[in-house]
């Protein structure tokens, strides 16, 4: 692990810790009666995702046109501004939208910098470190956010502010890598063009659709737990609900750690098995009605998801780095993933507002994952995902790619 990767791991851990603490602080505010409505918690997740969709054409070009550590700092400053608005008693729906904007700026630089810090042979391992660090941050952030917010909302918010500022300090460890290109002028037109260019190969389409499937399901499952736990287990504390996500996150961490041995990039097709397993375990979770079976099932959902998403992410980064630029590739990936998440969470928000029971929603979610995996997998050809890029059937980076 070189200095740059170490700095990125620390910075990403602190930023992700704060990101995930925010949601459970907001959930605590709802459970404590400051805001009400079955729709409010999934609506919080939805507004966070809006910026990823709206500004996607610009954030990728911005990440590639600036030194990526600088972009990481800008993203964290915007997130800190959003938390400051909550401290000033601005409605969390508005403040969380600003936090989402900061996250949208942060993400292309976070993933786009990896191919610039490590060789392609080390990319899966580096992705495993980043994913493990991120999920460890999710574990601690969700638990700390829920538990501290049960004690004091204001203390929890200041904890988040300090975490973002500490992430900025850690970012200073990363070497200032020169920008790789990218222009904000004509970014929308360029975004459409590069998205088509990027998705020309079946492997790129499989990988993008696969990550979209994973994150869409994860976003719904996360907000579903806030409704499922009170309805099925009679849990009404934000801290106790956050502990349930601990088992989900631990499973993802273990899956991310195992995946370099289980699914090398030349065997990307194997990832579909983990996606099938995730759908099956979500269906199994819908039948659970006690605490420890719920925790174990959530662990296996996370394990399957971690095994699935890490090699798919690594394939996308390598293809993007070899073609349109890593920052723009991640921005396109983020756009499609967040369209999926926004659509999935939006549908669940409507269903929750109309009184849909969380168990029924889990059944629909698990069945949808199985069906989507079948459809996506049928379009993936056999072979090495790198061979296509190396032999020239992928378009190469050009000066007009924006």
User: What is the pLDDT at residue 327?
Assistant: 62
What is the phi/psi pair of residue 181, to 5°? 120, -175
Query: Which of 233-242, 311-320, 361-370 is predicted least confidently?
Result: 311-320
In the predicted structure, residue 402 carries a pLDDT above the cut 50: no
**Rounded Cα gap, residues 302 and 109, in angstroms:** 25
User: What is the pLDDT at residue 265?
Assistant: 63
**Rounded Cα gap, residues 212 and 123, in angstroms:** 20
User: What is the pLDDT at residue 379?
Assistant: 61
More confident residue, 402 or 12: 12
Q: Is 272 helix (H, G, I), strand (E, B) or coil?
A: helix
**Most confidently predicted of 23-37, 273-287, 320-334:** 273-287
- Show the CA angle centred on residue 347, arms to residues 342 and 350, nearest 5°: 120
**Rounded Cα gap, residues 75 and 106, in angstroms:** 5
**Rounded Cα gap, residues 105 and 109, in angstroms:** 8
**Rounded Cα gap, residues 121 and 400, in angstroms:** 28
User: What is the pLDDT at residue 181?
Assistant: 65
Residues 6+ apart with CB under 8 A from 169: none
DSSP code, position 365: H
The structural architecture, per CATH, of the domain 3-390 is Up-down Bundle (1.20)
Q: What pLDDT, in 10s, does the model give residues 115-160?
A: 788 776 777 778 778 877 877 787 788 889 988 988 899 999 999 9
**Rounded Cα gap, residues 395 and 200, in angstroms:** 8
**Rounded Cα gap, residues 271 and 170, in angstroms:** 33
Confidence class of residue 42 from pLDDT cuts 50, 70 and 90?
A: confident
Question: Mean pLDDT throughout 278-294?
Answer: 94
User: SS3 sequence, 275-343?
Assistant: HHHHHHHHHHHCCCCCHHHHHHHHHHHHHHHHHHHHHHHHHHHHHHHHCCCHHHHHHHHHHHHHHHHHH
The alpha carbon of residue 311 and the mean position of all alpha carbons in its chain are separated, in whole angstroms, by 15
Q: Is 136 helix (H, G, I), strand (E, B) or coil?
A: helix
In the predicted structure, residue 392 carries a pLDDT above the cut 50: no
**Rounded Cα gap, residues 44 and 84, in angstroms:** 17
User: What is the pLDDT at residue 14?
Assistant: 95
Residues 6+ apart with CB under 8 A from 153: 25, 28, 29, 32
pTM: 0.73
Burial of 379 (0-12, 13-18, 19+ CB in 10 A): exposed
Q: What pLDDT, in 10s, does the model give residues 312-334?
A: 877 777 777 777 766 667 767 87
User: What is the pLDDT at residue 62?
Assistant: 85
Distances (CA, A) of 90 to 25, 83, 314: 14, 10, 39
Query: Which of 11-25, 159-173, 333-347, 376-390 is predicted least confidently?
Result: 376-390
Confidence class of residue 387 from pLDDT cuts 50, 70 and 90?
A: very low
Question: Mean pLDDT throughout 72-82?
Answer: 95
Residue ranges of alpha helices (H) inside 66-185 are 68-87, 92-112, 114-117, 123-151, 153-171
State the number of CA atoms in the 13 A half-sphere of 108 facing the CB.
38
Q: What is the dihedral of CA 137, 264, 123, 340, to 10 degrees?
A: -60
In the predicted structure, residue 240 carries a pLDDT above the cut 70: yes
Q: What is the dihedral of CA 180, 260, 380, 207, to 10 degrees?
A: -40
DSSP string, 178-244: PP----STTHHHHHHHHHHHHTTSHHHHHHHHHHHHHHHHHHHHHHHHHHHIIIII----HHHHHHH
């Amino acid at each position: 692990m070189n200095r740059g990767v170490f700095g990125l791991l620390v910075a990403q851990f602190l930023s992700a810790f704060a990101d995930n603490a925010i949601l459970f602080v907001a959930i605590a505010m709802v459970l404590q009666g400051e805001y009400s409505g079955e729709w409010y918690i999934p609506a919080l997740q939805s507004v966070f995702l809006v910026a990823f969709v709206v500004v996607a054409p610009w954030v990728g070009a911005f990440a590639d046109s600036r030194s990526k550590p600088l972009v990481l700092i800008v993203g964290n400053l915007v997130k800190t501004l959003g938390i400051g608005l909550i401290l000033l008693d601005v409605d969390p729906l508005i403040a969380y939208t600003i936090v989402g904007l900061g996250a949208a700026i942060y993400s292309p630089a976070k993933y786009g910098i990896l191919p610039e810090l490590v060789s392609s042979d080390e990319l899966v391992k580096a992705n495993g470190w980043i994913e493990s660090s991120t999920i460890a941050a999710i574990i601690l952030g969700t638990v700390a956010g829920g538990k501290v917010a049960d004690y004091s909302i204001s203390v929890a918010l200041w904890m988040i502010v300090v975490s973002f500022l500490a992430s900025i300090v850690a970012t200073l460890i990363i070497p200032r890598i020169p920008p790789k290109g990218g222009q904000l002028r004509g970014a929308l037109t360029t975004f459409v063009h590069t998205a088509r260019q990027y998705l020309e190969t079946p492997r790129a389409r499989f990988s993008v659709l696969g990550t979209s499937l994973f994150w869409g399901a994860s976003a719904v499952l996360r907000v579903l737990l806030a409704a499922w736990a009170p309805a099925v287990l009679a849990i009404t504390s934000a801290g106790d609900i956050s502990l349930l996500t601990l088992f989900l996150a631990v499973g993802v961490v273990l899956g991310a750690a195992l995946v370099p041995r289980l699914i090398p990039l030349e065997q990307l097709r194997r990832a579909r098995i983990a996606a099938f397993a995730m759908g099956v375990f979500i269906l199994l979770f819908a039948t659970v009605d006690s605490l420890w079976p719920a925790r174990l099932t959530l662990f296996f959902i996370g394990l399957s998801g971690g095994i699935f998403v890490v090699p798919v992410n690594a394939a996308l980064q390598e293809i993007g780095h070899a073609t349109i630029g890593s920052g723009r590739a991640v921005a396109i990936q983020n756009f499609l993933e967040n369209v999926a998440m926004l659509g999935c969470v939006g549908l669940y928000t409507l269903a929750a507002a109309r009184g849909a029971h969380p168990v029924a929603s889990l059944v629909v979610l698990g069945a949808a994952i199985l069906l989507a995996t079948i459809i996506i997998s049928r379009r993936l050809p056999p072979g090495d995902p790198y061979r296509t890029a190396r032999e020239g059937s992928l378009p190469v980076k050009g000066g007009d790619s924006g």
